[in-house]
Amino acid sequence: MKKIILSFLAALSIASCQSSKETNLNITGNVDGLKKGGLYLEKYSVADSSFKSLDSIRINGDAHFHFETYIDEPQIMFLRLDDNSGDENQEIIKFFAEAGDYDIQTKMKNFSNKVKIETTSKNQLKYEEYNDMIDKFNNKNLDLIAAGLKVDDTNDKNQVLIDSLSFQYNSLLKRKYLYTVNFAVNNKDLEVSPYVTVAEVYDANVKYLDTIYKTLNRKVRKSLYGKELKELIELRKE
């Protein structure tokens, strides 16, 4: 009888562990203005360079949604909108997912731009901080491009102006790279550090990539993006 009870308790323990693996990431939210369509929770698979659907929901009147899934480690995930328009280039919301709760509020129009994400995830909060600064760099870059196009349209061969725009562009690019390197080093205990390195400054001088990798704590080095950063450095050194 004692052996039977012990076996039963062991089975319960295993079942409990398996169950807990099913729901460590909880995502709720609403898409204001969406009446019919679909929402898909996806992640990117490096192995075969494709997006994998983790969960989905069809919307018919009520655009509130709820996803539950299991996540092995912190990583980028995507919330993709299918608004039944037939457009293959559907909008997506990219966020840094990890075990915990997320509340995503957005609108059907400007789906990926009007988003607000409530969470206690340190990776997501730092990722938002990083993106806010990168948006400023990108907006300045667009201004420089517009100025360059204006020069082309007017056939203005003012070499001083052309050189000035080129200098500003290169300076902006350098500042963007240095910001990313400093951000990665200052957040060495978070998985967002190697992610932004691989995603944004993969072509930076390998000594900077190496510096970032060496500052990462042990857990982050062994993470999905820590391994990708290591592989990138090894490839660049060949």
pLDDT of amino acid 118: 97
pLDDT of amino acid 148: 82
User: Which contiguous run of DSSP H or E holds residue 20?
Assistant: helix 2-20
pLDDT of amino acid 15: 44
pLDDT of amino acid 112: 92
pLDDT of amino acid 157: 67
pLDDT of amino acid 3: 47
DSSP string of 133-194? HHHHHHHHHHHHHHHHHHHHHTT---HHHHHHHHHHHHHHHHHHHHHHHHHHHHTTTSTHHH
* 22-119 carries CATH number 2.60.40.180: yes
For 9, the token pair is 């308790």
Residue ranges of the chain with per-residue pLDDT less than 70: 1-21, 86-89, 153-157
Residue spans of the domains in the chain: they are 22-119, 124-237
